[in-house]
Structure 1
């Protein structure tokens, strides 16, 4: 089966994620994490990328980045290859560090909430994974862009762009009051049940309005032909089906696990399916 084409265009916004090979750790200590962040900074200098959000987890990473030029593939090749080489040299290892192809979800960034949802998903990862205690603030997790968002601009990494995410929260200025408001909102979001909001991020190839999705499908079709176009349409249909199931579960007040334990062929299970 042919590989799916990476969707690239100037100004594209992506949620990028990749795991360690065999789900193994991609960082052994904080020196590795610091080296990863420094390599990301170098990549931004080489490619012109604008990083909006990042988070380093034990065996994977998340990036929300924008490509002013259509260069996601070239940039990721250099970034992953360079970090892998540095990691292997430091630990006297060889071979693959990352597993397969990285996931690149195209995000609609027109100010209608999709960037906000993706940024929340990434910034809340350490809390969901219990990498910080329940009483600790999100900024207690060092290896995320979230602590950088709370800092004043003069103390923040200059390659991290925060203005678009602030705008998604209707915060016009990167001020003390604005940053406090942002932190309060995200801490409140942390305490709510928002897992179903993130299904399209975990499963889909595009996160945006239907019109935005159709435009991307037309781009893919023009470049690769009907075969790939059909594959992307299939993914679109699957994402829609998952959304409908999630809505029905919510209406019934069920969790996903509740559906799994019911016997095959149960009327209520068939109705949802």
Structure 2
């Protein structure tokens, strides 16, 4: 006889703490296990997934549903996400349910196009990248300390284009990307190797020459690098002369094929560096100027929305410039101008196309 799952049960979790992109790390709210047959466990209401007999998770990430002074919570350990001017990260973002995020070459080209838009808008510098099948790797530097905002645009805009191209709806990526804070002078070089070696490690190709969807072709000079990819820093680590640096870079890559992933050395799932670097960023009392980037570190101070309207009489231009400041969402701009957010989206895209044409 097939065992029956016990009815879902509910537990009160006192003093809920909601994490967001800038919240300090907190202890897990509740330890929740998937209920097994005949087991009744204090925890969270687990609705059944139709036809599977397994509990279905009601959303990605940490979900809190408040009811007076109580809440129901999913337990998920969420590493701290620290943002500050000049921070370097190794970012990995995976497809929802581990499904493919690139179905053809057009998708891969479009992702690169979106990445270029995001880098220009948020002043990102990319040191290495690699597209796989159901995820991508991105090694980037944020002079303005705006990782979360930029990632929201990168994954959000690409999802819109992907769904439109393939006639799909809904989420493309898992609820939360992984971002490891990296000590540049200690681990950046090693991570540039790790990122582009992924297709070889996964046995997707026999040679890096067979995988055009990474930063490798740009670094070795087979293709002209886009403005957002910094190949000069990487090549300078090997030799002052470009051709010699490229040869040394290729040797460096191949020598690391059998080495363990440097990501395994990350502390607490989110910081990678020497002991002093780790202790500085893992201390309990993180200074406020690190948790929230000061306006002095930002590329430009955002203006009030009324100010954009005064400076740019053409409404679409005003909305596009406000969005490019990085301080407002399309929905916020739409509410201010009494238009749908898709109207804002069209204005932004039109403006970006004009910028590319005029150079």
TM-score class normalised by the smaller sequence: 0.7 to 0.9
Under a length normalisation based on structure 1, what TM-score does the superposition of the two structures give? 0.73
Larger Rg: 2
- When normalised by structure 2's length, the TM-score is 0.56
What count of residue pairs does the alignment treat as equivalent? 214
Return the alpha-carbon distance in structure 1 between the equivalents of residues 91 and 285 of structure 2. Answer: 19
Note the alpha carbon deviations across 1:165-208, whole angstroms, 9 max, x for none.
234x43234x1121112112212322xx3126441259731110
Tell me if structure 2 keeps the 8 A contact 1:115–1:165: no
Distance 2:116 2:278 in 1: 30
212, 220, 230: which is aligned to 1:150? 220
Query: Counterparts of 1:15 and 1:94 in 2: how far apart (Å)?
Result: 28
- For residues 202 and 93 of structure 1, the distance between their equivalents in structure 2, rounded to whole angstroms, comes to 38
Q: Return closer, same or farther for 1:222/1:198 CA change in 2, 3 Å cut-off.
A: closer
Gaps of 5+ in 1: 224-273
Deviation at 1:17, TM superposition (A): 0.4
Q: Which has the higher contact order (CA 8 A, sep 6+)?
A: 1
Change (3 A) 1:220 1:107: farther
Aligned ranges for residues 91-102 of structure 1 at < 5 Å? 91-102=166-177
| Aligned residue number for residue 170 of structure 1 | 238
Taking a change above 3 Å as real, the CA distance of residues 176 and 79 of structure 1, as seen in their structure-2 partners, is same
Task: Name the SS for the 1:98 alignment partner.
Answer: coil
**What's 1:46 paired with?**
121
Aligned to 1:83: 158
- Residues 266 and 273 in structure 2, CA contact (< 8 A), matched pair in contact too: no
Per-residue Cα deviation, 1:46-74 (whole angstroms, up to 9, x for no partner) = 00000010000000000000000011111
Counterpart for residue 115 of structure 1:
188
Give the match's secondary structure for 2:247: helix
Report the aligned-residue RMSD: 2.2
Quick one: structure 1 residues 12 and 159, their matched pair in 2 at CA, closer, same or farther if it must change by over 3 Å? same
Note closer, same or farther for the CA distance 1:89–1:189 as it changes in structure 2 (3 Å cut).
Answer: same
Q: SS at 1:65's partner residue?
A: strand
Partner of 1:140: 210
Question: Structure 1 stretches (4+) deviating beyond 4 angstroms?
Answer: none
Structure 2: gaps (5+ residues): 1-16, 20-24, 26-79, 289-359
Shift of 1:29: 0.3
Alignment of 1:1-273 (within 5 A): 2-3=18-19, 4=25, 5-110=80-185, 112=186, 114-133=187-206, 136=207, 138-151=208-221, 155-167=224-236, 169-173=237-241, 175-190=242-257, 193-195=258-260, 197-201=262-266, 204-218=269-283, 221-223=286-288
Secondary structure in 1 matching 2:89: strand
CA distance in 1, matches of 2:284, 2:145: 13
Alpha-carbon distance between aligned partners in 1 of 2:91 and 2:211, rounded to the nearest angstrom: 20
1:215: how far off?
1.7
Instruction: Kindly provide the CA deviation profile for residues 227-253 of structure 1, in whole angstroms up to 9, marking residues without a partner as x.
Output: xxxxxxxxxxxxxxxxxxxxxxxxxxx
